[in-house]
Chains A and B, each alone.
Chain A
């Protein structure tokens, strides 16, 4: 089989873009109010642990994807069902992110455009990339990581230069103690986006340098987590914890305050662009994981034949997932703390446990 290859740099870029996807745009972690940035750092730390678990499983089966080694570890029927659950999760999560992107556009710019059209345009673009193969997505990430870093640096300079930051908005630290931080981190800032990185388990077999997988992944997670924490802290410092936590897209509101000499202002499109780019990669990776997973479960070859059908399912799911954006957000919170926790932590833990038992019990028998 001619497996496409992903370089370690591309993995790095993909992880960073994936972590930023939606989380950088929304009022992420703001249940912890002024201490959201702390909750994110804590989430990042926990995310590193979770990533180590994913990496451990990968090292045991360096040539297989998650859905394949699930069957290898658990045996055909149970493993297959677990694989199906994972694929459904990928589809569900991709649909959520498509909806996020669509709602972002509807609420901020295209107020009379049907969300169906916006979602469809997004998905068609991604479907085209995936149809061309994962290598295309990986190469794309190398370009867009530069764009995003550029936006980030320029945006930061502009925010600092327009003198809208009031650090008093971040004080006092730990206003309500550790409790709100912990309840926000577990499960919110932990699962979203670090738990969602389980979709990378479908990607690892394509790495051209498996030895650096874990190190690169952890560095990428830490960098993106710190940047995320910084971004949310800036949101709070500019808008205050109250306005940030009530805004759906805090970054957009924050950037709209930038004003340099009455000349550089109304930078919302830049923020919008950033959000769309990072969301694009997040959807693409989840979408890809869903396609690969389905192909392996149902033995479809080549897997690109599934790009359109899976895309159609994601499309329909993104529309039917909820009746209003408010419901969508509430459902997100509920599903993270119930269903998503089980999938992204429960299944890998189960797999690792069974794998260990089989390894040592097997040795004992011999």
Chain B
């Protein structure tokens, strides 16, 4: 074999290349950001941006343990600037390590900023390679994002994980919220036929005391972050909070409901029967009739009866059928109320415009520029089919025996 020098030069070259140290970042020099908060500064165009940074020694569970228990699990750093990136760099004056954004779980937007408009916030998130589109977005209700980030939470050491968990499970099991990520919001902002909705979070209790580690050293924390309500947007600006049934109606219309709880009347007793919704499918269709949109919604939902306070004979089919009818009627009312609330604000958060584009793209092209006004005049037609598939481990209620 002749080409020994070539072989040798290859081997030497690979030493340079394979070590892969060019872009090296030492873990001990990184500060992992778990959540970002964005607020508006009163007056002027600057933002106040806060970062919830994990204190690694507090997170590592005990074996080496050195230094654990000295500080809170996270520290919040904040600074002012006109763009996110400016603050990311500016904050280095306060943070002893380089911020790492690959693990940002939650982006919190202060309510004041949300009402001022969120259109300008997301560009950097798309551009930087560290940030991910799958970061979940919430609105800090009645407070600032910085305050939300500062609350120390029980059960999860990292407050961002706590927010994420609450968001996930309340969306899956209670369904008055949505786990919307950055790309969901960008899609809604870009689309002419849809407006975004974003879940809200509030602090229950005393924010001041929530910042201390002592907040989690008691069985009933002084401050607790709670997921509550849906913020409705119009043209990138938040216009209104939707709560309770109205919020659930929105989730139902968006077809994002996974499981939920529905209360039905039983005779004269109000909310005496509880149904666990287990499956729900929503179809929306928009068409134009005489210059007015017709919004057709068909919902098919299934569930099981889980609680009753009245003497129902669930062995009889007509009783069940009556319950199903009542459920359908109630769902239709809830959904209608949600649409009417959105129509009042002229904000098509449900994507009826997109639905029109799907069925009649020519018509859509004519009306897309004043869709929001047209949507407000739209006629609503809801058809709900509800099915109660079972009643848990019992058939008749013991109430009926007595």
Contact = CB atoms under 8 A, between A and B. Distances in A.
The answer to whether A and B assemble together is yes
Interface of A: 107-113, 117, 121, 124, 128, 168, 171-172, 174-175, 239-240, 242-243, 246-247, 253, 256-257, 259, 265-266
Given A128-B10, A242-B190, A256-B133, 10 more contacts: A111-B129, A113-B22, A113-B23, A168-B358, A172-B357, A172-B358, A242-B186, A242-B191, A243-B133, A247-B126
Contact of B132 (A108, A128, A256): A256
Nearest to A253: B133
B361 interface: yes
Contacts of B17: 121
A253 B134 CA distance: 10
Interface string B125-148: 010010011100000000000000
- Name the prevailing secondary structure of the B interface residues: helix
A123 to B, nearest CB: 12
B10 A110 contact: no
Contacts of A174: 361
Contacts of A112: 22-23
A181 to B, nearest CB: 14
Contacts of A121: 17
A219 B126 CA distance: 38
Contacts of A243: 126, 133, 183, 186-187
Contacts of B63: none
Contact of A107 (B13, B129, B187): B129
B222 interface: no
Contact of B13 (A124, A168, A242, A257): A124
Interface in B1-57: 10, 13, 17, 22-23
Interface string B104-141: 00000000000000000000001001001110000000
Interface residues of B, number: 21
A127 to B, nearest CB: 10
A259 B129 CA distance: 18
B133 A117 contact: no
A259 B168 CA distance: 14
Contacts of A259: 134
20 contacts: A110-B23, A111-B129, A112-B23, A121-B17, A124-B13, A168-B354, A172-B357, A172-B358, A172-B359, A172-B361, A174-B361, A239-B183, A243-B133, A246-B126, A247-B126, A253-B133, A256-B132, A256-B134, A257-B133, A266-B102
B3 to A, nearest CB: 9
A128 B23 CA distance: 25
A257 B183 contact: yes
A259 B132 CA distance: 12
Contacts of B183: 239-240, 243, 257
A240 B187 contact: yes
Nearest to B189: A242
Contact of A109 (B23, B133, B190): B23
Given A171-B358, A175-B357, A239-B183, A117 B22 contact: yes
A171 B285 CA distance: 13
A112 B126 CA distance: 19
Contacts of B191: 242
Contacts of A171: 357-358
B10 to A, nearest CB: 7
Contacts of A111: 23, 129
Contacts of B361: 172, 174-175
A256 B23 CA distance: 21
Contacts of B358: 168, 171-172
Nearest to B130: A111
Contact of A108 (B10, B13, B129, B354): B129
Interface string B180-198: 0001001100110000000
A121 B18 CA distance: 10
Contacts of A107: 129
A108 B23 CA distance: 12
A165 to B, nearest CB: 13
Contacts of A253: 133
Contacts of B23: 109-113
Interface in B334-361: 354, 357-359, 361
Contacts of A124: 13
Contacts of B357: 171-172, 175
Nearest to B102: A266
B187 A242 contact: yes
A265 B126 CA distance: 18
A172 B360 CA distance: 8
A170 B166 CA distance: 32
B18 to A, nearest CB: 10
Nearest to B17: A121
Nearest to A171: B358
A168 B358 CA distance: 8
Given A124-B13, A175-B361, A256-B133, A110 B22 contact: yes
Given A124-B13, A257-B134, A109 B129 contact: yes
A121 B190 CA distance: 40
B99 to A, nearest CB: 14
B136 to A, nearest CB: 11
A253 B181 CA distance: 14
A108 B357 CA distance: 35
Nearest to A177: B361
Interface in B138-179: none
Nearest to A131: B6
A107 B358 CA distance: 35
A174 B17 CA distance: 48
A247 B357 CA distance: 24
Contacts of B190: 240, 242
Interface centre among A107, A108, A172, A242 (most CB of B within 10 A): A172
A171 B358 CA distance: 6
B368 to A, nearest CB: 11
A25 B358 CA distance: 28
A168 B184 CA distance: 13
A257 B17 CA distance: 31
A239 to B, nearest CB: 6
A247 B102 CA distance: 18
A246 B133 CA distance: 14
Contacts of B126: 243, 246-247
Nearest to A246: B126
Nearest to B103: A266
Nearest to B129: A108
B260 to A, nearest CB: 19
A256 B135 CA distance: 11
